[in-house]
Amino acid sequence: MHPPCEMMTDSFLPGMRRLVAKKLREEGFSQGRIASMMGVTQASVSLYLKSGRKPIKALESLGISPEQSALYASLLAEDLKKSPVYAVSTLYSVWSDALGRGGMCAAHRLLYPSLAQCDMCIKTFGAHGPAHAEDAIEHVAQAVRIVEASPSFVRVMPEVSVNIAYARAGASSTQDVVAVPGRIVRVHGSARSFMRPELGASTHVAAVLLAAKSRDGSISAAMNLRYDSKMARVLRRLRLSTLNLEESLGPRTDEEMLAQLLRRFREETEAVEAVVDAGGSGIEPSLYLFAADAVSLAQLALRIAREYSNES
């Protein structure tokens, strides 16, 4: 018996670890800090940094292009700065999506010709959630297509990339929220997603959405965008009802941010269409938009993007 898990441990995971270590080193992190973030030894990090093109070739053997590898490494590096749990979630989403699309089949069959007729991964991982969630998944996919088609949307994307989250009626946890695995990212000056939306694909934006939905049941969708002085002027001009979170003077966890958000929601008496998180030490400022559905949310985001593009 030869499950594809062997390729995960033999090629995919080592390759991604090497690329992520190099990405973090390029951003100025020390070997010791990288080792701590990744949960490996400093000696391992040293080897990763000396590996040349070996990790890229290992991933290419699995059908993952150098461009995709670089994208995944960037996403994972950003996740590790926040939490190793985020990184594991993204890593598994990337892997399971590749299995579900049949992306690993050729490499697996090359290793084990006896599996020439196997389609187990497509059957197991190809279904993105239960059948009753398919409408919600397609709804988010439509919203993603709207922002991808806009030439101006990329201008309002934050460094941590964008996610669109949609919670159906009765959603009680982030696993009940549909979002985009790996997020929506910049690729050659355009916004692109690489995986179909699925349940449980977001932790942070989904948690922000659930917090907003607990206060206002008409809210079902959320999206994160960049925030700066230009965006502040755009929000004022569009007269969006905005709630502001305090800037953090030191390191801050997502749990602390969500606690502050829930406290501010309890204090606020008016409807809230957006939340501004001023960020803090090592935390990028963010804008969170809310709407009754993902398509309306995408259309609002494009309106904001056009205004932002025209702002001097």
Chain position carrying tokens 């290419």: 60
CA distance 57 to 11: 10
Q: According to CATH, what is the number of the domain 131-310?
A: 3.40.225.10
Contact call for residues 97 and 127 (beta carbons, < 8 A): no
CA distance 134 to 98: 19
CA distance 258 to 266: 12
**Long-range CB contacts (within 8 A, 24+) of 33-40:** 37/80, 37/81, 37/84, 38/80, 39/84
Amino acid at 309: S
Note the pLDDT of residue 247: 76
Note the pLDDT of residue 131: 44
pTM: 0.67
Parallel, antiparallel, or unpaired: how do β-strands 177-179 and 242-245 relate? unpaired
Whole-number CA gyration radius for the chain: 20
CA distance 294 to 167: 9
Note the pLDDT of residue 130: 46
**Pure H helices in 50-119:** 54-60, 66-82, 84-100, 105-111
CA distance 17 to 39: 10
Span 190-233, pLDDT tens digits: 899 988 899 999 999 999 999 999 989 889 999 999 999 999 99
The whole-number average pLDDT for the span 147-154 is 93
Closest CA to 10 of 121, 89, 112, 86: 112
The whole-number average pLDDT for the span 117-143 is 75
Contact call for residues 7 and 104 (beta carbons, < 8 A): yes
- pLDDT tier at 140, thresholds 50, 70, 90: very high
The whole-number average pLDDT for the span 265-294 is 89
The whole-number average pLDDT for the span 297-311 is 93
- Measured CA to CA in angstroms, residue 30 lies from 35, 81, 173 at distances of 9, 13, 36
* Dihedral (Cα; 193, 196, 200, 201), 10-degree rounding: -20
Domain boundaries, the chain: 5-125, 131-310
Cβ burial, residue 42 (10 Å; 0-12/13-18/19+) = middle
